[in-house]
Amino acid sequence: MFAYINKATLYIFAWILYETQGILIPKGNFFTQILVTVLLLVSFYHFFIVNTHYKISPFFKGLNALLIMFSVYGLFLIIGGYDPNDYVIKVPSFSYLKGIYISIMPIYSFYYFSKENFLTEKMLPFLIICFLCFVTIQFLQHQRDLLIEAMLIKSSREEFTNNFGYSFLSLIPACVYFYKRPVLQYVALGYCFVFLLMGMKRGAVLIGAICLVWFLWKNLQNESMKKKITVLFLSIMLCFAGYTFFQKKITESEYFQKRVELTLEGNSSGRDKLFKEHANYFWNEASPLQFVFGSGANATLRVSFNYAHNDWLEIAVNQGVLGLLIYLFYWFAFAKSILCSTSPQSRLALQLLFIIYFLKTFFSMSYGDMSVPATFILGFSLAQEKKNEQICNCN
């Protein structure tokens, strides 16, 4: 364990510490503000190193364009200020950029650390298990908080929708790197899927099921004929265990039954109203200038009672057609990087990350809600190709 302590693992555990606000440390205190400032400064330093010392992949060209766009609009929001009365949800003007930077910037750091061999494949099992423990604690703590809130208002509810289910979704691509330990790999996959079901986030469960099918199919393709039988057996066992757990939940949990019924009925938890209001504003109410360049960061909060919960509509309202073109370029660049990947493990991990975060663009937050485990696997996987194409060694 001590052999793994270096600048990369310190960076990882600093982010984990920051994410434990409300569990190990109080939320929003002076220490957490200093911690996140230092982490972002380190990440910006790595952003500079990655863009000047390596031959960057198409993915980073797309990500750079996206980051520059968000930075310009975010700075205009901070400099121009806003009238709190214009917003249904009151948010500080700096929170727009802060949220995006926390979500995106670690990718550059994890890429740099992997290129410079501070993060190696040998370290991955230990780090992934640490992430699994961390998100489990987050999930259970949030579940406890929801239960306490229900008790305070004298509610008898014992089951809730837990947003931390998405954290387990982000860890499914990490399971790819357990390929040398197939039993552990499938146990980890099953563990993640159980918590996805327990979280009862319908979008997360749906995407998780798609990822699981893709994972099992590609795993069978990538293995030698001798190992296919073992992989097939483990796949069948995993599917059977998942189906059994699903049946148990739907039989014993009224709340789970209700969530399934609402999904089958097409209930979108108010998203249909949000989509309609934001789409109507973009097509019918925005001026020609706003149509092309958008109405500014967080403009969706002036249009309706909440964010659009759809990245394409969020960007359309905030950054206009220009923003949509840049966002489309980012996804094309992401896809191109996957096609250029030659390592079976990194290619599968990138495919799963693409599936997760592209599908999330249609009903949830994607670019502004990437978890640390996801950015870790993304940065590491991108760095596995052509390590020798760096201009100089940056220690």
- Packed helices 225-252 and 202-222: angle between N→C axes, nearest 10 degrees: 160
| DSSP per-residue codes, 150-191 | HHHTT--------TTHHHHHHHTGGGGGGTTSHHHHHHHHHH
Q: Which residues of the chain have pLDDT under 50?
A: 388-395
Q: What is the mean pLDDT of the chain?
A: 85
Contact between 189 and 164 (Cβ < 8 Å)? no
State the Cα–Cα distance between residues 70 and 47, nearest whole angstrom.
15
State the Cα–Cα distance between residues 45 and 38, nearest whole angstrom.
11
Helix ranges, the chain (H): 7-19, 30-53, 58-80, 95-104, 106-115, 124-152, 165-171, 182-199, 202-222, 225-252, 254-264, 271-280, 288-293, 300-303, 311-340, 344-360, 372-383
Main-chain phi, psi angles of 259, to 5 degrees? -65, -40
State the Cα–Cα distance between residues 78 and 67, nearest whole angstrom.
16
pLDDT in tens, 158-186: 677 888 888 899 899 999 999 888 889 88
State the Cα–Cα distance between residues 302 and 286, nearest whole angstrom.
12
Interacting residues of 246 by C-beta distance below 8 A, sequence separation 6+: 197
* Distance set, CA 238 to CA 25, 192, 242, 265, 310 (Å): 37, 11, 6, 28, 32
Strand partners of residue 2: none
Under DSSP, is residue 12 helix (H, G, I), strand (E, B) or coil?
helix
State the Cα–Cα distance between residues 99 and 365, nearest whole angstrom.
11
pLDDT in tens, 62-85: 999 999 999 999 999 888 766 656
Taking the CA atoms of 23, 349, 201 and 308 in sequence, report the sign of the dihedral they define: positive
State the Cα–Cα distance between residues 308 and 279, nearest whole angstrom.
9
Q: Hey, what are 114's tokens? A: 């992997």
First to last CA, the chain: 22
Burial group, residue 367, by CB count within 10 angstroms (0-12, 13-18, 19+): buried
Which candidate, 96, 75, 7, places its Cα nearest to that of 43? 7
Q: Which residues of 282-319 are buried (b: 16+ CB within 10 A; e: fewer)?
A: beeebeeebbebbbbbbbbbebbebbbbbbbbbbbbbb
Residue 82: what pLDDT? 66
- Residue 154, amino acid: K
In this prediction the pTM is 0.90
